[in-house]
Amino acid sequence: MSRKIQSVKGMNDLLPIEQKDFKLTASFWQAFEEVVARWTLRYGYQQIRTPIVEQTGLFVRSIGEETDVVGKEMYTFSDSNDTLSLSLRPEGTASCLRAVVEHNLTYAAPQKLWYMGPMFRRERPQKGRYRQFHQVGIEALGFPDPDIDAEIIAMCADLWRELGIADYLTLEINCLGNREERAAHRTALVEYLLQYETQLDDDSRRRLHTNPLRVLDTKNPDLQEIANRAPRLIDFLGEASRQHHDAFKALLDGLGIVYVENPRLVRGLDYYNQTVFEWTTDKLGAQATVCGGGRYDGLMEELGGQPTPSIGFAMGIERLLLLVHEFGCLKADNSPDVYVMQQGEGSTLIAMRYAAQLRAAGWNVLQHSGSQKLKNQFKRADQSKARFALIVAESEAASGSVTLKDLQGMHGQTTVPAEQMINQLKEWKA
Ligand code: ATP
Ligand code: MG
């Protein structure tokens, strides 16, 4: 036998069954995708699908060279015979905006877009953190006012309710101000952090000169005190930013959405300004953030488009579904309605015809193939978790009747003329 080839570390298979260390099944995932399709439609969002590979420069320019995502975590390679550097996408916003600019989608009207798919980051794999993971995201492009900030938060809350996990998520918000306000804050922050330069860890010392805002985001327990006492961005906000933030909070209050203001919330990507937020949980260990987002009013221009104030968020599907799997409600039942069995040489074709009739009437049908032993067929039917069995016996087929069995309920077994099989199943199912 040849040596087995394993999947790539940090990249999961989605199977019909639960795995020991990965509880999410493909059918659970599919049920979630169906919820997402309806949810986005309810809010007037249109789907966009972009390639998984983009020019590396797109991510460098949008996410920022000094971020962990671009600096350390991207899968980058050069196309053969080509000097062009390509990368697997680490997130969805950059690609989405690239496509919007390229196809001039916001020319006539603002756009509300959503996407879903795999993202790639070379991180240390652990529960809730993978190298191929999946996101659902939305982007509202061309909306300057805080009403949209509040609406997308309400949209998240709506999904948490539908999935039964609202009680396990906390909303944290912050305001990052505009470019000038951030620059003034940055100067004060660097000055403050320089006093503690020797106490900082390597990561924070590096960030001090490249991306000092990110020092506030440190998870190092020894640095919490320093980060807590650092100058707060919120104290550097001018009138317009303050008004935007206050109006945003007033709408959340009015909608009855509870939030925590976290002045240290900065987000890991460079393109954010003004409103930023995260939905966090204490149920997934260190991987606390299920969904994050904010405004990126300058990003379209950065990517060569017209100035287009915009806001969006992305949620990690694995983290979200791990939470739903344990605490929420999402029904995923892909078992067949009817398992069709046949007995005797001549019954296969008749059984296939009955199966076709059932499918045409909207039933999900699994037809037996293989061993003709009835015991074996019943075993397979049980394994399939089918609700009913249809048994086509050669002896009955001649007289045009079939046997139905309720495999899970109390209806037992009955033999009926074939024309009545659908009505009988409907009656049993009701
Ligand atoms: P974290 O701080 O946990 O690394 P992040 O700030 O890097 O998250 P974002 O870039 O904001 O994450 O991506 C949005 C969401 O995508 C995250 O909140 C999380 O749910 C999910 N996510 C990010 N990276 C991963 C990963 N490696 N594996 C699984 N989910 C991820
Ligand atoms: Mg990260």
Ligand 2: centre distance to CA 13 (Å): 22
Which atom of ligand 1 lies at the shortest distance from residue 289's CA? 18
The ligand whose atoms approach the alpha carbon of 121 most closely is 1
Which atom of ligand 1 lies at the shortest distance from residue 128's CA? 29
d(CA 430, CA 416): 18
Pairing of strands 46-47, 53-55: unpaired
Pick the residue whose CA is nearest to atom 19 on ligand 1: 316
List strands edge to edge, sheet with 53-55: 53-55, 85-88, 76-78
Residue 394 pLDDT: 85
Of 157, 94, 97, 149, whose CA–CA distance to 291 is shortest?
157
Which atom of ligand 1 lies at the shortest distance from residue 287's CA? 3
**In the chain, ranges of CATH 3.30.930.10 domains:** 26-177+237-327
Pocket test for ligand 1, best of 219, 311, 319, 322 (most atoms within 8 A of CB): 319
118 lines ligand 1 (CB under 6 A): no
Pick the residue whose CA is nearest to atom 11 on ligand 1: 292
d(CA 105, CA 112): 10
The ligand whose atoms approach the alpha carbon of 128 most closely is 1
Which atom of ligand 1 lies at the shortest distance from residue 131's CA? 27
Pick the residue whose CA is nearest to atom 5 on ligand 1: 268
Residue 164 pLDDT: 98
pLDDT digits 0-9 by tens, 333-381: 889 999 999 998 788 999 999 999 999 999 999 999 988 899 999 999 9
289 lines ligand 1 (CB under 6 A): yes
Residue 257 pLDDT: 98
The two tokens of residue 10 are 């940090």
149 lines ligand 1 (CB under 6 A): no
d(CA 392, CA 380): 16
State how far Cα 397 lies from the chain centre.
Answer: 50
132 lines ligand 1 (CB under 6 A): no
| The dihedral sign for the CA sequence 100, 122, 263, 283 | positive
Pocket test for ligand 1, best of 88, 133, 160 (most atoms within 8 A of CB): 133
**Within a 10 A sphere around the Cβ of 50, how many other Cβ atoms?**
18
Q: What is the pLDDT along the chain (430 residues), one digit of tens a residue?
A: 899 999 999 999 999 999 998 999 999 999 999 999 999 999 999 999 999 999 999 999 999 888 889 999 999 999 877 789 999 999 999 999 999 999 999 998 999 999 999 999 999 999 999 999 999 999 999 999 999 999 999 999 999 999 999 999 999 999 999 989 999 999 999 999 999 999 999 988 988 888 888 888 888 899 999 999 999 998 999 999 999 999 999 999 999 999 999 998 988 777 889 999 999 999 999 889 999 999 999 999 999 999 999 999 999 999 999 999 999 999 998 899 999 999 987 889 999 999 999 999 999 999 999 888 999 999 999 999 999 999 999 888 788 899 999 999 889 999 999 999 999 999 999 8
Ligand 2: centre distance to CA 322 (Å): 18
Q: Using an 8 Å Cβ cutoff, are 325 and 130 in contact?
A: no
Ligand 1: centre distance to CA 289 (Å): 7
**Within a 10 A sphere around the Cβ of 349, how many other Cβ atoms?**
10
**In the chain, ranges of CATH 3.40.50.800 domains:** 338-429
pLDDT digits 0-9 by tens, 42-72: 999 999 999 999 999 999 999 988 888 999 9
Strand (E) or helix (H) holding 324: helix 317-327
Residue 307's identity, in one-letter code, is: P
Q: Which class is domain 26-177+237-327?
A: alpha beta
Strand (E) or helix (H) holding 343: strand 338-343
Ligand 2: centre distance to CA 109 (Å): 33
- How far is residue 212 from each of residues 67, 95, 283, 412, measured CA to CA in Å? 11, 26, 30, 71
Q: What is the CATH number of domain 338-429?
A: 3.40.50.800
Pocket test for ligand 1, best of 8, 281, 289 (most atoms within 8 A of CB): 289
Which atom of ligand 1 lies at the shortest distance from residue 73's CA? 27
